[in-house]
Structure formats: C-alpha cells, structure tokens
Amino acid sequence: MKRQSLYFEGPRRVGIREEELPALKPEEVLVRSIASAISPGTEMLIYGDQAPLGLSADSTIEALDGQFNYPFKYGYSLVGEVIELGDKVASHWLGKIVFAFNPHESHFVAHTEYLHPIPNFVSVEDAIFLPNMETAINFVMDGKPQIGERVAVFGQGIVGLLTTSLLSEFPNNELVTFDNYENRRNASLSIGADKSLSPSEMDVIQDQWLGDNIQGSDLIFELSGSPEALNQAIQLTGFESRIIIGSWYGEKKTPLELGREFHRNRIKLISSQVSTIAAEFQGRWDKSRRFDLVWEKLAEIKPSRFITHRFPLECATEAYQLLDQAPKETIQVIFEYPE
C-alpha cells in the first residue's frame, strides 16, 4: 500500500511524494488521515528557510525524531481513523478516531501509545487544534495571571487567539491584544479581548498604562513570531513585570533594547515551550492531566471556527504560498484527505 506524504524540499518549495507504507508490526496500527493543520509559525519558518538547519525537529515526538535538513517531512496536528490492526493490538482500536503528532500524509503506521483517542464530546475539526490548545495552556500556566492585572498579548494567530480565550476567563483589570491583521483582531475581540489593536497603535495603551497613577503592564505574552515585538513588549512593562516568550524565532535576530525600561524595572523574560512542564508544577501536573484539560477547553472554545482555508494535500504548494504571500487572509489553514 502506498501513501502521499508532504516534504519540505527546500526554501519555499514543498512537494508530494508517493511512498510505500512500512509493513505493519504486531504492536502497530494503520491510520487513514482525515485532516491535518498547518502550523503558521513553525512550518512557515521551515518554508522560508528560517529554521536552524541541523536542529532536532522534536526529540519528544517519535514521528518528528529527525533534523531540519531538506528534504524532510514535518507537521504535528493530524486527525485520522484507525483502519488496520497489528496482530497484538486490541480489537477496540479498529475504527477509532485519533489525534497524532504526525507529519502531513495520507496514511501512517504508529504504536497505539502515540495515538490519542478523541473524546466523543470533541469534534474532529476541533481536535486538530490539540497542540495549539496545549501550548496556550502551557503559556498561561507559566504566566501565572493574577486578579486585577493588566495583560497584553502580542500576536493573534491561532495560538495567540487560544491564549487570549483562556486569559479572558481570569478577572483581569484589562486584556489587550495586538496583531497586524484586522481579521485576527476581530477574532480576538470575539473571544474576550477588551481591546485589540495594531502594533502601530501601541501608543494608545502606553498612554493609558504608563500614566501618572498606573505603572505599566503586569503580564505580557509575546506570541507574534516577530522578534521586534519583544522590544514593544518591554516598552509596555511596569516594575517587575513578566514577559512570557512563546514565539520561536528560528534564525530571526533583532537587537533588544535593554538600556531603558528593562534595566531599571527588573523585568522577567520567561521562555515558555510546551514540550516540558515547569518544574514547579511537576509535583501535581503531568502531560496526561494537561491533555485532560486540553480536551475540555477544545470542547468549550471550539477553535474550528478559526479555520479559514481548506486544501487537499495535492494543493500543498498553493496552501503554503497563501500563508507566505497573503497571511492577512488566513487564521488557520488545514489539509483534508478524502477516503
């Protein structure tokens, strides 16, 4: 049996290859893909040749245990149906709809321990957003928002939007978001932001939050993927503010302005990445508990409403060109796989 797999062939170049599926081992299952989501952050760094070549793609995920060296497969948000079982796999797995951290491809073979059955209260399209929601939850846990705080989020791509939706549940003093694109700002307002502005309008919030009686923001999330936004975040900070840096910049570089607000305000820059859980939580939290919360929040927030474009896998070139050349038109782009 053969499958269709998407490969990053080189800078701004993707291709679909036909491959023989590996033989099914007794402990493995065969999964037919239903849909997969493009990560507009990581995958566009790879597409634009801004990922550090030679770096491990993700050593914590079996299907991604390789390096960023062209050509290679990538992707980590896929939903599919188990259509064949190895001899030692329990029969209840047959027909299960599952989530997998797997590259974009029409079929794949996996051990069941790497598959996550989708609860019946979560739709297939909402389940595609599992990694994004897990990431958003991790950001909020690392940020530790407190009652009455002034909170800002830079970047309202899908992870930024989900982070905003979680933060809107807290009794914040004010929750303000920033994004270059109007459709994302409108989406941000729809899920609980008090204000959503273009970064060029940041002086509106600076005047409000850095006035005579207000000492700047308390908590900022930099999720835009733009290193320049980190300097803007620093400009909004107050004394001992926290800045959670969730963006992965790849090879992007920018000089940080550390001689003004940063130097005197004892600002905390905190790196946050979903592959691990902060040590202070590990006595009570593990990935299984975090996954349980992810499923609950996916059912509650229903992020599938942020899908703006759908492509068959054979139109992958058009999908990545859209994200590269017209990002203002997109929020979430997905691939759909016919039966």
Residue 285 falls within a domain, yes or no?
A: no
Listed residue (229, 202, 224) closest to 157, CA to CA: 224
pLDDT for the residue 270: 93
Q: Residue 65: its pLDDT value, please?
A: 55
pLDDT at 227 (0 to 100)? 85
- Tell me the β-bridge partners of 237: 217
DSSP label of 334: E
- Higher pLDDT: 123 or 65? It is 123
Same domain, 96 and 212: no
147 shares its domain with 263: yes
Let me know if residue 197 belongs to a domain: yes
Q: Is 41 part of any domain?
A: yes
119 with 65, same domain?
Answer: yes
Complete DSSP assignment for 63-84: GG-SBS-SSB-----EEEEEEE
Render pLDDT for 42-85 as a digit per residue (tens, 0 to 9). Answer: 899 999 988 766 655 554 545 545 567 889 999 999 999 999 99
Whole-model pTM?
A: 0.92
The pLDDT value recorded for residue 55 is 58
Is 189 domain-assigned? yes
pLDDT at residue 271, as a whole number: 92
Tokens of 241: 């503010």
Of 60-74, 257-271, 296-310, minimum mean pLDDT range: 60-74
* Residue 327 domain-assigned (yes or no): yes
Residue 173 has pLDDT above 60, yes or no: yes
**211-239 pLDDT tens trace:** 655 678 899 999 998 888 999 999 898 88
Domain carrying residue 225: 132-271
Beta bridge partners of 309: 333
The Cα–Cα gap between 149 and 219 comes to 7
Looking at the structure, do residues 19 and 118 belong to the same domain, yes or no?
yes
280 belongs to a structural domain: no
Q: Are 120 and 96 in contact (CB under 8 A)?
A: no
Number of domains in the chain: 2
Q: Residues 154-169: pLDDT tens digits?
A: 999 999 999 999 999 9
- The domain that holds 238 is classified in CATH as 3.40.50.720
- Average confidence (pLDDT) over 242-252: 87
Query: 147 and 116 in one domain?
Result: no
The chain-wide mean pLDDT, for the chain, equals 92
